[in-house]
Amino acid sequence: MPKRAVDTWPVQFTSQADDYAAIWLQGALFTLFTLGLGLPWARLRCRRHLLAHTQLGGQALDDHASPWAMLMRQLLVMGLLLGGGLAAADKPWAGLAGLTIAALSWPTLWLAAVSHRVNRLSWGRRPLAWQGRLAEAWRAAAAPLGWSLGGAWLAAGWLALGHPVSVIWGVGAVSWGLLGLLLVPEGVWRLARLRQSGARLGPLRLRWQARRGEVRRACLSQVVQAAWLGVVLAGIALVIVAAAQAGSTTWGRPVSVMAGVAAALIWALVTGWQWQARLYRLVWDQTGNRSLRFRCTLSSRAMLGEHLLLACLVVGTGGIYWPWAQHRAWAVRARATSLRSRVALHSVMRHWPARQARVEVVRERVAG
C-alpha cells in the first residue's frame, strides 16, 4: 500500500443525547418486563446507536454481535456467582471454594467476550478481526488472579482464627501487598497487549507498544492516590461519627454505618474512575503500527473530572440523568481520539473489501 505524509483523522460523534436517552428508556422497560433476560438486547441496541454515530474517515462503526451469546454468558456468570453465594451462606469454606472455581473461569469468559465483541465489529461495513488463544489469556491472567485468590483465602483464614493481631500477620499482609505491586502490573500489561495486539484492521495488524515500566508506574501512582484518598475519606468519616456521637447517642450508630458506607462507596467509585481514565489513555496512545497510530488527547485528570461531574448530576437528579451521562461520557472519549496514518484510508479500504458473509447481521426488536 502506498505511504505518504501523516494524516490525522479525528473521530467524529454525531449522536443527540435525547435520541440515546429514548432508546435507553425503551431498553430499560424491555429489560424490566422480561425480568432481566432482555438486558443483552437492550445493551446491544444502545451500543449500536452509539457506534452508528461514531465515524472515522466518514465511515461509521457498527456492532453485529449476537444477543443470544451475550445472554448465555450472562446466565453463566450469574449461575456461578449465585451458586457460590448460596454455598457460602450455608458453609463459608464451601462457598469460598465455589467462588474460587468461578473466578478461575474468568480468563475463558474474558477471551470469549473480547473475541465475540471485536469479531462482530465493522467499520464502513468492513469486519474487524481479532485472534487470541486461551493459553495466552491464562498466562496473562495467572499472576493477578492467583494473587487475588490467595489474598482471599488468607483473609478467610485470618477471620477463621479469630482476627489475630501479631507481627507475623502484619508482616505477611505487607509482604502480600508488595507482591501484588509486582504481579498485578505484569498481568495488566499482558492482558492489554493481548487485547490490543490481537486486532486486525483489514490488512493491518495492530500492536500495543507500551512497556512494562509504564504500566508499573501507572499502577504505583494509582495505589498511592487510592491510599491518599482512603486516608482523607476515613478522616472525614471519623469526624462525622464523632460529631454524631457527641450530639446524640441514639443516632450515633446509624450515622456511623452510613458514614462508613458512603466513604467506602466514594472511595471505590473515584478509584475506579481514576484507573479507568489512566488506563484508557495509556492503552490507546500506545496502539498502532508503522503505518498508523491512535492518539488520545484526553488527560486522566480531565476524564476523572468529567466522571465526577456526571456522578453529581446523576445523584442530584435521582438517577434520571443516567442515560445522558452515558452519552456524554462516550462523546468525550470519542472526540478526544484520533487516528494518525501514513497510509491513505482509501488504500486501506481497497485492500479491505466489505465481506457481508463474515458479518452476522442481528435484527433486534425492542418492544417500545
Residue 266 in 3-state DSSP? helix
Indicate if the pLDDT at residue 348 is higher than 60.
yes
The whole-number average pLDDT for the span 205-232 is 91
Q: What is the mean pLDDT of residues 280-301?
A: 87
> What nine digits make up the cell of 165?
493481631
Residues 301, 274: contact at Cβ < 8 Å?
no
Q: What are the cell numbers at 9?
A: 483523522
Question: CA 69, CA 47: separation in Å to the nearest integer?
Answer: 16
Query: Could you tell me if 125 and 359 are in contact, meaning their C-beta atoms sit under 8 angstroms apart?
Result: yes
Query: What is the DSSP secondary-structure string of 52-68?
Result: HTEEETTEEEEE---HH
Per-residue confidence band for 102, with pLDDT thresholds at 50, 70 and 90: confident
What separation, in Å, do the N-terminal and C-terminal C-alpha atoms of the chain show? 47
Average pLDDT of span 183-199: 91
Report the half-sphere exposure of 248 (CA within 13 A, side-chain side): 6
| Alpha carbon distance 281, 276 (integer Å) | 9
The pLDDT tens digits of the residues spanning 67-95 come to: 888 888 788 878 777 776 766 666 777 77
150 versus 254: which is more confidently predicted? Answer: 150
Answer yes or no: are the C-beta atoms of 341 and 291 closer than 8 Å.
yes
| Nearby residues of 259 by Cβ (< 8 Å), 6 or more positions away | 237, 240, 241, 244
- pLDDT, tens digit, 9 for 90 and up, residues 195-216: 998 888 888 888 998 999 999 9
**Confidence band (pLDDT; 50, 70, 90) for 252?**
low
**pLDDT single digits (tens) 307-330:** 889 999 999 999 999 999 999 999
Task: Please check the confidence at residue 361 and state whether its pLDDT lies above 50.
Answer: no
pLDDT of residue 2 exceeding 70, the answer is: no
Q: Give the pLDDT score at 316.
A: 92
Least confident of 83-97, 136-150, 171-185: 83-97
Task: Please say if the pLDDT value at position 149 is more than 80.
Answer: yes
- pLDDT of 363 above 50: no
Residue 204 · residue 289 · CB < 8 Å: yes
Sequence-distant (6+) residues with CB within 8 A of 129 are 118, 119, 199, 200
Cα separation values, 47 from 13, 199, 219, 341, Å: 13, 20, 29, 27
Quick check: 192 pLDDT over 50?
yes
Name the more confident of 183 and 160.
183
Q: Per-residue b/e over 209-222, b at no fewer than 16 CB within 10 Å? A: ebeeeebbebbeeb
- Is a pLDDT exceeding 60 seen at residue 33? yes
Q: Which three cell numbers stand for residue 6?
A: 501523516
Q: What is the arithmetic mean of pLDDT over 147-168?
A: 86
| Contact criterion met (CB below 8 Å) for 17 and 328 | yes
Q: Report the amino acid identity of residue 41.
A: W
Strand segments (E) across 198-303: 199-201, 204-205, 207-208, 287-288, 292-296
Look at residues 337, 359, 355 and name the one whose alpha carbon lies nearest to residue 10. 337
Between 248 and 246, the more confident residue is 246
Between residues 195 and 255, which one has the greater pLDDT? 195
The span from the CA of 48 to the CA of 354, in Å, is: 19
Cell of 195: 487485547
**Are the CB atoms for 265 and 315 separated by under 8 Å?**
no
Return the H-helix or E-strand segment holding 7.
Answer: strand 3-13
**In the sheet that 129-130 helps form, which strands lie side by side, from edge to edge?**
129-130, 199-201, 204-205
342 contacts 291 by C-beta, under 8 angstroms: yes
How far apart CA 121 and CA 337 sit, in angstroms, is: 18
Mean pLDDT, residues 223-251 taken together: 84
**Statement: residue 26 has pLDDT above 50:** yes
pLDDT, position 249: 62
